[in-house]
Amino acid sequence: MMIPDNPNTGHCLNLPEYPVYIGTLRDRICHFLENNRHSGCFILVDDNTQQHCLPVLQQQVPQLNTAGIVNIEPGEIHKNLKTCELIWNYMLENRADRNALLINLGGGVIGDMGGFCAATYKRGIRFIQIPTTLLAQVDASVGAKVGIDFGGVKNSIGAFANPAAVFIDPVFLQTLPMPQILSGMAEMVKHALIAEPQALQELHSLLPIQPVTDWKKMIYKSILIKYEIVKADPFEKNIRKKLNFGHTIGHGIESFSLLPDQTPLLHGQAVTLGMIAELYLSEKKQHLPKSQLQTAIEVLQKLAPSYPLAGHHYPQILRFIANDKKNQNGSINCTLLSQIGTAHTDCAVTAEEITEALNFLNSFFN
């Protein structure tokens, strides 16, 4: 059952597959639980969301005070089969049956892995997403992708699985440090770069970050951009690949940063670096005008972490990129821009061109 849109408390996107609610949690989740009976509720959290977000959820939705709490270690390095086994074991030990509900309370790691565990536990139980980071709210909330990392390669094991609903409450953004906010804004900038030039100007006006009073409106607009793309290509056969802009090189840098002797990057931080590098390739291969290149980079520099890469790091990054799931027939594929707002998918690039792009990226840190 859908909950009507209420402009005073937030927005509701009644997608054909599932609803996305943006606004105060209390009435919306209580209504959902009352109208969707389950044999038991379980809440997946990590150490951070258990401390900062779970009390907010349980205060607003008292019905969840008796839910089973599944706690996992935070961070991308734990998005793997070992952690999935911990989640599945908890569910089995607590007799979760096929009518149980899993509530994923956290950022992208929690949403990806919790969705994957729910989609595979007893061949599938219902789950809802409550994304608590800006990145997860504007990106993972739409698209139905779930999965884990395997063999050092991001999201190499996974599936498409729709949640029963998504609940987005900007109240959780108050718990985030600034790097997490900037990480989420990177995905919002990506949506603007591939589809909506006007939105890029609006985001640029917010940087450096000032107190924002209407996150609901910003999140809603960014989700709409993504949804229009996903709706046209739900299983990423063609135009949905536009959303991969910045991700081919970004995932390579992110995987490199997760090596034991490196400094881990947030996903949005890595994508910011990847977008800068792929903008270079966009000018080189798709003739992105220099003026637009500079405009985009001016925005991204306000989001990018300082992360210089040494030349001897490139081969490892290239190995990660070579294993990217977007590649086909031995070709490394990127999404590149010919104009801000116009993206082209499956653009083949060479290792030499990626090296040039990494050199271009590094020039901002020297």
Give the pLDDT confidence score for residue 359 in this predicted structure: 98
d(CA 277, CA 187): 15
Distance spanning both ends of the chain, measured CA to CA: 55
- Closest by CA position to 313, among listed 273, 348, 281: 273
Over its C-alpha atoms, the chain yields an Rg (Å, rounded) of: 20
Cis peptide before 308 (omega within 30 of 0): no
pLDDT at 3 over 50: no
State in words which class domain 10-175 has: alpha beta
Using CA atoms of 155, 157, 159, 164 in order, give the dihedral in degrees to the nearest 10.
-70
Q: How many CB atoms lie within 10 A of CB 240?
A: 18
Q: Domain ranges in the chain?
A: 10-175, 178-214+231-365
Average of per-residue pLDDT values in the chain:
92
Length of the chain measured in residues:
366
Tell me, rounded to whole angstroms, the distance of Cα 192 from its chain centroid: 15
d(CA 291, CA 113): 40
Give the pLDDT confidence score for residue 1 in this predicted structure: 35
Contacting residues for 260 by C-beta, under 8 A, at least 6 apart:
none
Give 74-91 pLDDT, tens digit per residue. Answer: 999 999 999 999 999 999
Give the pLDDT confidence score for residue 309 in this predicted structure: 96
50-59 average pLDDT score: 96
Cis peptide before 177 (omega within 30 of 0): no
* Structure letter (DSSP) for residue 197: H
- Tell the residue number behind the tokens 């809440």, with chain if given: 43
Give the pLDDT confidence score for residue 26 in this predicted structure: 87
Active-site residue numbers? Answer: 123, 145, 187, 226, 236, 240, 244, 247, 251, 267
d(CA 239, CA 347): 13
pLDDT at 7 over 60: no
Give 166-200 pLDDT, tens digit per residue. Answer: 999 999 998 899 999 999 999 999 999 999 999 99
pLDDT at 294 over 90: yes
Give the pLDDT confidence score for residue 5 in this predicted structure: 46
pLDDT at 153 over 90: no
Burial tier of 185 (Cβ tally within 10 Å: 0-12, 13-18, 19+): buried
* Structure tokens, 127: 């789950």
Query: For the domain bounded by 178-214+231-365, which CATH number is listed?
Result: 1.20.1090.10
| Side-chain half-sphere exposure of 58, counting CA atoms within 13 A | 17
Three-state secondary-structure class, residue 304: coil
* Structure letter (DSSP) for residue 137: I
Give 155-164 pLDDT, tens digit per residue. Answer: 899 999 999 9
Give the pLDDT confidence score for residue 212 in this predicted structure: 61
151-155 average pLDDT score: 86
Give 195-243 pLDDT, tens digit per residue. Answer: 999 999 989 988 887 666 678 888 999 999 999 999 899 888 899 999 9
Q: How many CB atoms lie within 10 A of CB 206?
A: 13
- Tell the residue number behind the tokens 């919306």, with chain if given: 28
pLDDT at 271 over 80: yes
SS3 percent helix, strand, coil of the chain, rounded to 5, is: 55, 20, 30
Q: How many CB atoms lie within 10 A of CB 220?
A: 19
Three-state secondary-structure class, residue 150: strand
Give the pLDDT confidence score for residue 2 in this predicted structure: 41
Q: What is the pTM of this model?
A: 0.89
Give 311-342 pLDDT, tens digit per residue. Answer: 999 999 999 999 877 777 778 999 999 999 99
